[in-house]
Structure 1
Amino acid sequence: MTDTMTIHHAEHNVPDMLRGAGLRPTRQRVSLAEILYSKGDRHISAELLHEEAVGADVPVSLATVYNTLHQFTEAGLLREVVIDGNKTYFDTNISDHHHFFIEGENRVVDIPGEGVGIGQLPQAPEGMEIVRVDVIVRVRNKISS
């Protein structure tokens, strides 16, 4: 797995980061990685990354953005945060942590890994092991009475 601290330094050499993750540093991958990691830890949708790329004059299709995000996830450079079947975010913070999902704002916020206690986990199916537990806590603004 890739060193989290290395990924988030703006001065890090993006082509070297991609090579270190086993990915060829194509022009589009480098451009998208620079956009992704230039703003520190964040949760971004493919659509928003596509908008930012277009705004930065990076000629890339939405399909290429999706493919690249999934390649980065498989290479350990991102974490995929699936809120439900319609909402997926990609997290540049790959450390062990959980998330709040703020309903109404469609925003994801980190919860430190030690901020959530997991009681009893089920036995993994035969021949398998539990890799990670992801907790998503849904919150919304209180309704005033």
Structure 2
Amino acid sequence: MNDRVCAMMPSEISDLEMKLRDAQLRPTKQRLALAELLYSRGNRHITAERLHSEAMEAGVAISLATIYNNLHQFTTAGLLREVVVDSSRSYFDTNVEPHHHFFHEETGSLEDIDKSDLTVANIPALPEGTEISSVDVIVRVNSRRN
């Protein structure tokens, strides 16, 4: 593991361990290392492939399959939010509060839209026996072409 992960203060380790334990996830070395990579930079959007690259750069020996498994476990536990941009691309968002996104098609990056900046109205009648669990809006943007 890299010096940053190994040199974390005991209180930082405890915070990450607590975060995982509170989510009913066992705080293994790999999960703690992934949590450090995910949460040490504030809110962010990351793909499994990018997180795998960051883990390799940090000296964390972990397979891409294990990254995917852990990201999905973190999502199920409420620690991450999966944002599906299209059938071949998902991002994992460390900001789990309700909000929407701009998707920059040219760069492949996501940007948060504050929930107060977008109102969704005129939702059609729901199918019988259902309720809204969430509404996710992705606004796709490109550079202006003159």
Shift of residue 128, structure 1, vs aligned partner: 2.1
Whole-angstrom distance in 1 between the partners of 2:124 and 2:133: 13
Shift of residue 13, structure 1, vs aligned partner: 1.0
Q: TM-score, normalised by structure 1?
A: 0.89
Question: What is the aligned-residue identity percentage?
Answer: 55
Shift of residue 122, structure 1, vs aligned partner: 2.4
Partner amino acid, structure 1, of 2:91? Y
Residue deviations 1:29-53 (CA, integer Å, cap 9, x gap): 1110110001110000000000000
Partner amino acid, structure 2, of 1:74? T
Residue deviations 1:111-137 (CA, integer Å, cap 9, x gap): 001111111112333322111100000
Whole-angstrom distance in 2 between the partners of 1:62 and 1:141: 32
Cross-structure match for 2:72 = 70
Equivalent residues in 2 for 1:1-145, closer than 5 Å: 11=12, 13-144=15-146
Structure 1 segments unaligned to the other structure (5+ residues): 1-9
Residue deviations 1:77-133 (CA, integer Å, cap 9, x gap): 000000000110000001111000001100000000111111111233332211110
Q: TM-score, normalised by structure 2?
A: 0.88
Structure 2 segments unaligned to the other structure (5+ residues): 1-10
